[in-house]
Amino acid sequence: MATAAGDPIRATDDDVITQASSGKPLVRLIQQVAQSIPSGISTAITFGAGSEDIDTNGWHDTVTNNTRVTPTVAGYYRVTGGYVTTTSSFAAANSIDCAVAKNGVSAASGERQGGATTNTQLMCIAGAILSANGTTDYFECMANQVTGVAINTHIAQRLSSFLEVEFLRPL
């Protein structure tokens, strides 16, 4: 409902305006410690100490459930995650993929970017607009690779696995 000139603005109106403007919650996590991703097993990316580039509302914990972002505001969110492998040998039949997940369940898959040759980092990025209830729902970036061996995530500030969660609007 729109507010006409001269109408009172209520506290709930102010909260919505703040959340939809410069005060809206944002999280950007950049992986700081390499993680081993086993072949053929979907694995949540960890974001431990030093990984919080932005966390305006304290929705991420670097120790407890450090794979998760748990919003405390019910709403719609743009969730983007990326998985980057170390330099390794990849045969043409080998693959990596990633997904953004809600409550541990894949919500949107990504596509591999990069080559399938020796000495090439591969990157996969996935994104979706997802809802969260503001209490128990959480988001993660899931990584998967099929090479027959475990492969570490790549760590270099500009080329690291990441997870971003941006509040869009209330439910």
Determine the pLDDT at residue 85.
87
SS3 at position 40: coil
Vertex 16: Cα angle to 59 and 76 (nearest 5):
55
Residues 88-131: tens digit of each pLDDT: 656 554 678 899 999 999 999 886 655 555 556 788 899 999 99
Residues 124-136: tens digit of each pLDDT: 899 999 999 999 9
Beta strands per DSSP E along 45-117:
52-55, 75-84, 95-102, 105-109, 111-113
Q: State the DSSP H helix or E strand holding residue 13, giving kind and residue range, or none if neither.
A: helix 11-19
Which CATH number describes the domain made up of 30-48+68-170? 2.60.120.40
Q: List the domain boundaries for the chain.
A: 30-48+68-170
Distance separating the N- and C-terminal Cα atoms of the chain? 15
